[in-house]
Amino acid sequence: MPEPPLIWASSARMSAGSTQPYEQLGAHYRRHGRDADARTVLLARQRRLSRTLSLLARAWSLLQDTTVGYGYRPQRALWLLAALFTAGTALFAAYPPAPSGNGTPPGFQPAIYTLDVLIPVVDFGQQTAYVPHGALRWAVVALVTAGWLLATTVATGLNRALQRT
């Protein structure tokens, strides 16, 4: 249950884009060393702001809220990344992709292959050396998509966390 000041901030009459009560309460909590409470209030501010967005922006906002809590809960992204890494490693260990046929590929490493697929800015050479077939293609597509979305969301969350007041 939210504390009475947070209930006050959320029930205050204000225009759709006004967040002053949240900002004041968050600043008050920070001044008094209550950073966790400040993050909770500022997260509530972001959730209130998301109600004023277009449908597409609201969907992006929901993704940010779910994965990194708008930068106020970045540990969520680490858990999601760890879960995807574990699932991908187990899948590729059980059903390894075939070599691509371009020379002699390096030895297949399921964990490295999963990292290569999941993290968009890293290239360990496993993804180009091995080609998934059949249903594994869809798993790779899902991991690549999740990797890009997660990386973009984490970057946005980190940016917001570094810029927050």
pLDDT digits (tens, 9 = 90+) for 51-72: 888 889 888 888 878 777 777 7
- The pLDDT, as a whole number, for residue 80 is 87
First to last CA, the chain: 25
Give the integer Cα–Cα distance in Å for 138 and 159: 31
Pairing of strands 130-131, 98-99: antiparallel
**Of 136, 13, 11, 154, the residue nearest 71 (C-alpha):** 154
- The pLDDT, as a whole number, for residue 157 is 66
Give the integer Cα–Cα distance in Å for 6 and 2: 6
Q: Per-residue pLDDT tens, the chain, 165 aa: give them.
A: 455 555 555 555 555 557 778 888 888 888 888 877 888 888 788 888 888 888 898 888 888 787 777 777 777 877 888 899 999 999 999 999 999 877 788 899 999 999 999 988 888 989 989 999 999 999 999 999 988 888 777 777 677 667 655
Give the integer Cα–Cα distance in Å for 53 and 65: 14
Structure tokens at 152: 């973009």
Predicted TM-score (pTM) of the model is: 0.65
